């Protein structure tokens, strides 16, 4: 529990990524955020070259996952993460534009920890992200720099 949590943000829309990052920062979370704009790169990073994710073993991570990616669906990534023995305890926050109850249900069934709909109403969106920031601060060790 000594390492600070690294936030893996898998979000193809740069605007969304920027908004999410800003709001996370505003809520006082200063953890490192590694952004990915497509699924393949994110999967390569998470699971390594051999796909076993042995490189990520024991690393404190948090995954922000958009379901609509250009090259694959976020559901696939979620499934792989939750099936991998090294990554399955990593919290996954699903961020998506739809509030389709079927989709939400499926994500929870696959083991996602939080499901956040990106509302167009900016205030609620910012709120949700900030709540997420609080959520991070609960699970993280306070960074030494602050």
Q: Considering beta carbons, is residue 33 or 45 the nearer one to other proteins?
A: 33
CB of 15 to other proteins, least distance (A): 3
Q: Which residue, 94, 127, 125, 130, is CA-closest to 112? A: 94
The span from the CA of 3 to the CA of 112, in Å, is 23
Edge-to-edge strands, sheet with 33-36:
33-36, 6-10, 61-66, 92-96, 114-117
35 beta partners? 9
- Determine, following the binding rule CB under 8 A, whether residue 110 of this chain makes contact with other proteins: no
43 beta partners? none
CB of 131 to other proteins, least distance (A): 16
Question: DSSP for 57-79?
Answer: TT--EEEEEESB-SSSBHHHHHH
Among 62, 125, 136, 140, binds other proteins (CB under 8 A): 125
Among 84, 96, 115, 132, binds other proteins (CB under 8 A): 96
Cβ atoms of 131 and 19 closer than 8 Å? no
- Determine, following the binding rule CB under 8 A, whether residue 130 of this chain makes contact with other proteins: no
The span from the CA of 139 to the CA of 106, in Å, is 25
- Determine, following the binding rule CB under 8 A, whether residue 127 of this chain makes contact with other proteins: no
Site track 29-48 with other proteins (rule: CB under 8 A), x = hit:
--------------------
- Determine, following the binding rule CB under 8 A, whether residue 71 of this chain makes contact with other proteins: no
Q: Considering beta carbons, is residue 21 or 140 the nearer one to other proteins?
A: 21
Which residues would be at the binding site for other proteins (CB under 8 A)? 13, 15-16, 19, 22, 67-68, 73, 75, 96-98, 100, 102-103, 106, 118-123, 125-126
């Amino acid at each position: 529990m000594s390492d600070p949590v690294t936030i893996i943000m898998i979000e193809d829309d740069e605007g969304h990524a920027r908004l999410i990052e800003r709001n996370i920062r505003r809520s006082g979370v200063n953890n490192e955020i590694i952004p990915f704009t497509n699924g393949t790169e994110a999967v390569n990073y998470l699971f390594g070259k051999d796909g076993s994710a042995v490189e990520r073993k024991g690393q404190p991570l948090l995954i922000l996952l958009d379901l609509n990616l250009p090259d694959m669906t976020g559901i696939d990534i979620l499934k792989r993460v939750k099936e991998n023995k090294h990554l399955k305890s990593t919290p996954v926050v699903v961020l998506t534009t739809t509030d389709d109850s079927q989709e939400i249900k499926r994500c929870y069934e696959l083991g996602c920890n939080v499901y956040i709909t990106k509302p167009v109403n900016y205030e609620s969106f910012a709120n949700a992200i900030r709540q997420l920031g609080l959520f991070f601060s609960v699970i993280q060790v306070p960074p030494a720099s602050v």
